[in-house]
Amino acid sequence: MLSYAIRRILQGILLITAVSIVVFLMLNLMPGDPMDNLVSEKLSDEKKEELREKWGLNKPLPVQYINWVSRILKGDLGTSLKTNLDIRESLRSRMPVSLKLCGTAMLLQLLVSVPMGLYAAYKRGGIFDRFIMGYSMVTAAIPTFWIGIVLILIFAVATNLFPANGSSTAKHFILPVTAMVFGGISSNVRLTRSEVLSVIREKYVTTAYAKGLDGNAVMFRHVLRNALILVVVSTFMSLPWVVAGAVIMENVFNMPGMGAFMTRSVIIQDFPVVQACLLVISVLVVLSNLIGDLCTALLDPRIRQSISRDNV
């Protein structure tokens, strides 16, 4: 397992490097001059050239990328071109908001969707199963931001039960997390249901019933454990979509998180901020995928045996 984890970490580092190169090229090849958005239109061309030289924007792209990577390796994420503030300090205050939002939404999606999918498979063809499948198909077609706007209109504007913006208390997270959970559990519910129905047909489940084991014991000890393998992988693989949903929710609910910070920086073409945010997000995605692979190996002995054979 240790060698497998090291191999996956090295693959993750290569992936982060590739993502950083692609992001750097895409941002620098955007049409328009970023100086027009960063400084006043009344500023002279001579002063603009001085600022380009100060910020290193007049250097060739490979030199800019190497300088940026060298600063990153030293722990320096750079300085915002718009506010002249240290990006690391700005992210330090904003990242907890995004982590709370994404982490809570992912955990609740898993805690809600797995029991619902399991019970729908257990009561296959019943009223609950038909309701859950219909609900998952409808919510899969509804944008998450639309759910968030509806929740604001009902629970913030009409009834004033919850705040519509901010992140200072746990109450501020209820509406955005609810919107993300409502919009995100449909795929996990369908996946859990299909995996449970697939595992139920396996011979070892029939053998467990033949031995006289209790139905609940068979469902939880044999069926659910094996069905969760693909669900765990899917949950961790869906982190980029959860992060994307968090970016939308932070803008809808005006939350001072990393996603909203990155969105505003894209609009004004504050490249160092965008690069730093995307780098942090890519690192989080790689780490979550690594954790998902390790959890899958722990749940499935066949994967551990495959890893052992590869190491021999």
pLDDT at residue 76 is higher than 80: yes
Give the number of other Cβ atoms within 10 Å of residue 225's Cβ. 13
pLDDT band at 134 (very low <50, low <70, confident <90, very high): confident
CA distance 80 to 82: 5
Residue pLDDT, tens place only, 151-163: 999 998 888 888 8
Q: Name residue 53's amino acid.
A: E
Provide the b/e sequence for 116-136 (b: ≥16 CB within 10 Å).
Answer: bbbbbbbeeeeeebeebeeeb
Q: Choose from 53-62, 94-103, 235-244, 291-300 the range with maximum mean pLDDT.
A: 94-103
Instruction: Name the CATH architecture for the domain at 87-311.
Output: Orthogonal Bundle (1.10)
Q: 3-class DSSP state for residue 86? A: strand
**pLDDT confidence of residue 155:** 92
Computed over every residue of the chain, the mean pLDDT equals 79
Classify 79 as helix, strand or coil. Answer: strand
* pLDDT band at residue 208 using 50, 70 and 90 as cut-offs: confident
Structure-block tokens of residue 224: 């659910």
- pLDDT for the residue 66: 86
